[in-house]
């Protein structure tokens, strides 16, 4: 069962039925040509609507950038929710699934790749926004994970659970930006580590022990 409040604060309003295609087109254009190439005219052409419709749906270019980033961060939080929903009786499997799915999503995230490789000119305009939103993402991801882990009643104090959750979230975000192994192997290692503290099956072996 989904837990209330598993959403990113400050999420933009849903808008009309053209809003999501416009945001998707902006993300694709940013990935392909850079943020400086994104104009209301090009988005109108890509989505088959008028420029006025684009303005009505997303407002300014700054508001569009905010909507793009929120859209992508919401996707990350959604896979975490889904992982725990799939394993209501197995905390370690839920953590494994959440970590693996987040890392797999990150490996194919066109917006994050585009921003990470932007090194000059107008493309860097997106970097401060991502930095600001990264703080929001950490806070919200920790809040979601804390509620989810507590629901399994792992036998630790709230402070102890908070320490484990903080470590997991920061480790995952580190691997999002600079992966050191495949999503599956990284998820396996972090799930094993969590099991040592959170779960009574602490001796469960790593899936990928033959590294």
User: CA-to-CA distance for 148 and 14, rounded, in angstroms?
Assistant: 26
Q: Is the pLDDT of residue 124 over 80?
A: no
DSSP H helical segments within 34-157, as ranges? 40-47, 51-58, 61-86, 91-107, 110-116, 126-151
Q: Give residue 204's pLDDT.
A: 53
Taking the C-alpha atoms of 22, 27, 31 and 32 in order, what is their torsion angle to the nearest 10 degrees?
Answer: -10
pLDDT in tens, 38-61: 999 999 999 999 999 999 999 888
List the one residue out of 147, 114, 143 whose CA is nearest residue 129: 114
DSSP symbol at 204: P
pLDDT in tens, 161-182: 999 999 999 999 888 878 899 9
User: CA-to-CA distance for 134 and 143, rounded, in angstroms?
Assistant: 14
List the one residue out of 131, 191, 151 whose CA is nearest residue 5: 151
Range in 4-13, 136-145, 176-185 with the lowest mean pLDDT:
4-13
- Where is pLDDT greater, at 90 or 177? 90
User: CA-to-CA distance for 31 and 60, rounded, in angstroms?
Assistant: 19
Q: Give residue 154's pLDDT.
A: 87
């Amino acid at each position: 069962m989904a837990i209330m409040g598993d959403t990113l604060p400050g999420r933009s309003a849903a808008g009309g039925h053209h809003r999501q295609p416009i945001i998707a087109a902006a993300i694709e254009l940013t990935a392909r040509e850079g943020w400086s190439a994104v104009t209301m005219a090009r988005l109108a052409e890509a989505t088959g609507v008028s420029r006025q419709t684009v303005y009505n749906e997303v407002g300014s270019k700054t508001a569009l950038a905010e909507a793009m980033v929120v859209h992508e961060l919401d996707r990350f939080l959604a896979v975490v929710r889904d992982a725990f929903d799939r394993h209501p009786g197995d905390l370690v499997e839920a953590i494994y699934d959440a970590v693996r799915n987040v890392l797999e999503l990150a490996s194919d995230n066109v917006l994050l790749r585009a921003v990470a490789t932007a090194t000059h000119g107008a493309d860097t305009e997106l970097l401060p926004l991502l930095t600001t939103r990264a703080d929001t993402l950490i806070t919200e991801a920790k809040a979601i994970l804390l509620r989810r882990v507590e629901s399994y009643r792992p036998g630790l104090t709230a402070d102890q659970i908070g320490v484990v959750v903080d470590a997991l979230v920061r480790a995952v975000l580190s691997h999002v930006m600079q992966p050191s192994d495949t999503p599956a192997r990284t998820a396996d290692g972090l799930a094993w580590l969590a099991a040592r503290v959170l779960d009574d099956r602490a001796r469960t072996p790593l899936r990928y022990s033959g590294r």
